[in-house]
Structure 1
Amino acid sequence: MTTLSDRVRGPVYQPGDDGFAAAAAGFNLSFAPRPDLVVTATSVDDVVEAVRFARSAGMRVSVQGTGHGAEAPIESGLLIITSRLDHLTVDPAACVATIGAGVRWKAVVDAAAEHGLAPVTGSSPAVGAVGYLLGGGVGPLARSHGFSSDYATGFTVVTGEGDVVEADADTNPDLFWALRGGKFGLGVVTEMRVRLVELTSVYGGSFFVDTSDIERMLRAWIDWTDGADDRVTTSVQLVGFPPLPEVPEPMRGKLLLSVRFAFPGDPAEGQRLVAPLRAAAPVYLDMLGELPATELGRIHNDPADPIPAYVHGNMLDRIDQGLGTAFLDVIGPGAPDSPFFAGELRHLGAATSRDVPGGSAVGGRGAGFACAFVAGQPELFATAAPAAAAHWDSTAAPWISDVNNANVVSQPITAERVAACWPDDIRERLGQVRRRYDPDQLTAGWWQR
């Protein structure tokens, strides 16, 4: 039997080879992938050959672009790296971007901006576009524009049997439906097309309150979200900044609450809409203003460099002051021993609650909010972090949605938590589509990320 190296143009690595660890590494440094083989695909043909090789060898296939979505270890099988599938074109007349599987959102943002257009992205411009969008994706424009996957217009996919197929509203519409939110087990996406929107700037950014005002601002934000303008997307994040020289001095060693705000409209109207929040407590740091669409990543300021992380997330049906108390109990000023250094609540609803024509497989459309907690000390990942996550799940149970989302679920990854990423009807239909395009579930070992 020929080796995989004989069949692909991209480099192939085995454990022990120089370059193996670097090729397999993802963004989350708490995982060190240990597949049996790694192939860095340089073309669709490389992906086809890799899938067919894995199929003949009885190996599961994992896929990684940037690795931002890594929430479980890869300990066997064939890992396909798509980072070299980095082709990108923008058709300004059609308002469509064609995006290779290795492209990060920042490249799409910059290319679209040349034409006064923008993709509906996530909070981090460093995230791989394809892996993020396959799970739905909620970013800083979620309430005004919806899930990022709502803007997908087509995909090129290598199926679990090694065939190249197209999926859009007219061709393989069942697969197209599934790829908008179905996340995994549907083959390997090598390219997607997404619709762009006319957007050059937003009124947005963030402002911070100091430790003594965290509870006051959090509770004011919770009340403010009840009846908030559908055009406004907000979130709050409570962060304990480490006392390190690389942290800006005003934040160094402090526990702060950040209020993030995005309004894709007139700045004067944005100022009016955010005024009640700004007045709710003394503002410690103010970073709100008119932002070019190319700088939307500044609203959340997600880490740009790889870090070790334990992330736990849920979709929430609703929130109220009882939920606020539960949140503060896990990570607030009165919880100094929390393993989490950051906790976030995002306001959803409005456009995220409306499905696209023809429907999609996104889980969690009925949720009004999402939450996430992040721990950064690896020695806590096996003990304190899971215990704190379980405590949150128990305390916040009255607010946690029965249906989660594949991009939100995070750790711990269990069969039950993954199954809960979709309501029963969507999960059953997804299973049918997965069996059709990947009958042996070759690509279901872990999802594209």
Structure 2
Amino acid sequence: MSQSLAGRVSGPVYTPSDAGYAPECAGFNVLITHSPQFVVAAQSTQDVAETVRFARENQLAVSVLATGHGTYASITSGILISTKALNQVSIDVASRTATIGAGARWEPVVAEAAKHGLAPVAGSSTNVGVVGYLLGGGLGPLVRSHGISSDYVTGFTVVTSDGETLEASAEHHPDLFWGLRGGKSGFGIVTQVKVRLVELPSLYAGGLFFAEEHIEAALRGWVKWTAEADARVSTSVAVMRFPPFDFIPPPLRGRTVLNLRFAFPGSTEEGAKHAAPLRALAPIYLDMLGELPASQIARIHNDPDKPSPVWTSGMMLTHVDQDFASTVLRHVGAGVQTPFFMLELRHLGGPSQRDVEGGSAVGGRGANFVAGLVGMHPPLFETVLPGAEQGLRAELKPWLSPEMTINFMGRPRSAEQYDSAWPEATRTKLKEIRQKYDPQHFFASAK
């Protein structure tokens, strides 16, 4: 069967005994391993379309993998389409548009756009795959000044369940375009995306680090500051517990800190004025805030770029106040024993709460904050971290938003929890669009 499939695609087809099989199956979370019957290393949209047709003819399930950042369950059967080779990036300066293949990460997009004084409204990590991130909306480091990342998408190239290729945009298949901007999965396989770029030669951005003994003062001060924060300033805070490992930079090795991330798309002088109250919250351990080229935007969050074991979960919040800060400090404050490597709070608002013309399927626009939890120690993944997360969630009930956004959910515990990433009206419309473009549910929504 593999030879028959290989005769229909230009890219290699691997079986478990082939040397190229494991690299094509590899994702970012090293604890998630895949063992499908076949892996197709797609070289083109046509390869993806032919593979989908072959799978239908032979009644085989189809899965897709790019960077693997959003993968929470192992793929153990059928055909896995790897889009790693579809990593082309081109910039049209005149139209300020980037055309990006499904296997591309944000890093080359940021680098190429920066050569022209432009930037994509990307995520906090430039190591993350562009397409998977955009399908879920996207709350990046410029969320308050520029909004949700998928709002900048102008078109998708999609292979549907019958093996046909469609161009979805505001003008063509607008219902599919609506669903792909935030609806995540269950429509088809996206092989290319077009994204509108913004002018951004530089910004005032980076991070302030506060030592463990000043976590409470910094957190409470940030919570108070957000109530009157300038709408152009995007910030987040993360309480982080760094292990005493050699690969951790010496200033952070073995330390617990609060990292306050800051991004202002404007002049250094004005940015410094906005940052001054935050610098005054408490004694600063490390000051890494200043003028930053747009090409180095990943330095704001400094997310890891090497595959590793990881556990994540999240929740959205209606508001924060000092009682909220007290609750968080009981779980991750100075001297507290916690299984979490990081608890992060991102301030939302501004354009992120306004839907685009024509609408989109993005969930969580009404929330004002999003909380993310990260664990890094595998023995804690199955019971300890979920238990701690549920305990924290119960105490944060007064501040929890009824809304959620799929990219911050982590591994869904059930189909019902997965569906909770969208309000009822959006869920209903998404179901109708999936039924239209995939009536036999060939591309099951990720659960």
Aligned equivalents of 2:371 and 2:145: distance in 1? 19
The match for 1:349 is 349
The match for 2:432 is 432
Note the 1:103-118 alignment, pairs <5 A. Answer: 103-118=104-119
Which secondary structure state, in structure 1, belongs to the residue aligned with residue 246 of structure 2? coil
Aligned equivalents of 2:8 and 2:119: distance in 1? 38
Comparing 286-295 with 383-392, which one deviates more in the overlay? 383-392
CA deviation profile, 1:369-394 (whole Å, cap 9, x unmatched)? 11111111111111111111111221
Residue 277 of structure 1 deviates from its aligned partner by 1.0
Residue 445 of structure 1 deviates from its aligned partner by 5.0
Contact (CA 8 Å) 1:61, 1:444: kept in 2 or not?
A: no
Contact (CA 8 Å) 1:35, 1:74: kept in 2 or not?
A: yes
Q: Does 1:73 align with 2:74?
A: yes
The match for 1:197 is 198
Comparing 39-48 with 239-248, which one deviates more in the overlay? 239-248
Q: Does 1:382 align with 2:351?
A: no
The match for 1:84 is 85
Q: Taking structure 1 as reference, are residues 403 and 35 closer, same or farther at Cα in structure 2, changes over 3 Å only?
A: farther
Q: TM-score, normalised by structure 2?
A: 0.97
Aligned equivalents of 1:438 and 1:187: distance in 2? 8
Which secondary structure state, in structure 2, belongs to the residue aligned with residue 220 of structure 1? helix
The match for 2:370 is 370
The match for 1:99 is 100
The match for 1:135 is 136
Which secondary structure state, in structure 2, belongs to the residue aligned with residue 106 of structure 1? helix
CA deviation profile, 1:126-156 (whole Å, cap 9, x unmatched)? 1111111110001110000000000000111
For 2:46, the aligned partner's letter is D
Note the 1:34-183 alignment, pairs <5 A. Answer: 34-183=35-184
Structure with larger RCO (C-alpha < 8 A, sep 6+): 1
Q: Does 1:415 align with 2:415?
A: yes
Aligned equivalents of 2:228 and 2:4: distance in 1? 61
CA deviation profile, 1:254-297 (whole Å, cap 9, x unmatched)? 10000000000111111111111110100000000000000000
For 1:52, the aligned partner's letter is R
Aligned equivalents of 1:406 and 1:75: distance in 2? 24
Q: Does 1:254 align with 2:258?
A: no
Residue 442 of structure 1 deviates from its aligned partner by 1.7
Comparing 322-331 with 30-39, which one deviates more in the overlay? 322-331
Aligned equivalents of 1:440 and 1:6: distance in 2? 26
Residue 101 of structure 1 deviates from its aligned partner by 0.7
Aligned equivalents of 2:35 and 2:236: distance in 1? 36
For 2:105, the aligned partner's letter is R
Q: Which runs of 5+ in 2 are unaligned?
A: none
Contact (CA 8 Å) 1:61, 1:445: kept in 2 or not?
A: no
Which secondary structure state, in structure 1, belongs to the residue aligned with residue 217 of structure 2? helix
Aligned equivalents of 1:40 and 1:26: distance in 2? 14
Contact (CA 8 Å) 1:117, 1:199: kept in 2 or not?
A: yes
The match for 1:311 is 312
Q: Which ranges of 4 or more aligned residues in structure 1 deviate by more than 3 Å?
A: none
Residue 19 of structure 1 deviates from its aligned partner by 2.6
Contact (CA 8 Å) 1:62, 1:445: kept in 2 or not?
A: no
Contact (CA 8 Å) 2:240, 2:258: kept in 1 or not?
A: yes
CA deviation profile, 1:55-90 (whole Å, cap 9, x unmatched)? 223333221111111223323332111111122211
Aligned equivalents of 1:299 and 1:29: distance in 2? 25
Comparing 189-198 with 72-81, which one deviates more in the overlay? 72-81
Contact (CA 8 Å) 2:28, 2:67: kept in 1 or not?
A: yes
Q: Taking structure 1 as reference, are residues 241 and 115 closer, same or farther at Cα in structure 2, changes over 3 Å only?
A: same
Aligned equivalents of 1:362 and 1:242: distance in 2? 36
Contact (CA 8 Å) 2:36, 2:77: kept in 1 or not?
A: yes
Aligned equivalents of 2:216 and 2:5: distance in 1? 57
The match for 1:15 is 16
Residue 5 of structure 1 deviates from its aligned partner by 1.8
Q: What is the number of equivalent residue pairs in this alignment? A: 446
Which secondary structure state, in structure 2, belongs to the residue aligned with residue 407 of structure 1? helix
Note the 1:157-306 alignment, pairs <5 A. Answer: 157-306=158-307
Which secondary structure state, in structure 2, belongs to the residue aligned with residue 340 of structure 1? coil
Q: Taking structure 1 as reference, are residues 59 and 331 closer, same or farther at Cα in structure 2, changes over 3 Å only?
A: farther
Residue 414 of structure 1 deviates from its aligned partner by 1.9
Comparing 189-198 with 309-318, which one deviates more in the overlay? 309-318
Contact (CA 8 Å) 1:386, 1:412: kept in 2 or not?
A: no
Residue 441 of structure 1 deviates from its aligned partner by 2.1
Q: Taking structure 1 as reference, are residues 258 and 416 closer, same or farther at Cα in structure 2, changes over 3 Å only?
A: same
CA deviation profile, 1:91-112 (whole Å, cap 9, x unmatched)? 1111111111111111111111
Aligned equivalents of 2:273 and 2:262: distance in 1? 12
Q: Taking structure 1 as reference, are residues 394 and 73 closer, same or farther at Cα in structure 2, changes over 3 Å only?
A: farther
Comparing 392-401 with 22-31, which one deviates more in the overlay? 392-401
Contact (CA 8 Å) 1:87, 1:99: kept in 2 or not?
A: yes
Aligned equivalents of 2:392 and 2:58: distance in 1? 43
Q: How large is the Cα RMSD of the aligned pairs?
A: 1.4
Comparing 141-150 with 315-324, which one deviates more in the overlay? 315-324
Percent identical: 52
Aligned equivalents of 1:389 and 1:360: distance in 2? 30
Aligned equivalents of 1:334 and 1:175: distance in 2? 50
Residue 412 of structure 1 deviates from its aligned partner by 4.2
Q: TM-score, normalised by structure 1?
A: 0.97
Contact (CA 8 Å) 2:210, 2:283: kept in 1 or not?
A: yes
Q: Does 1:391 align with 2:378?
A: no
CA deviation profile, 1:164-213 (whole Å, cap 9, x unmatched)? 00111110000011111011001000111110001100001001000000
Q: Which runs of 5+ in 1 are unaligned?
A: none
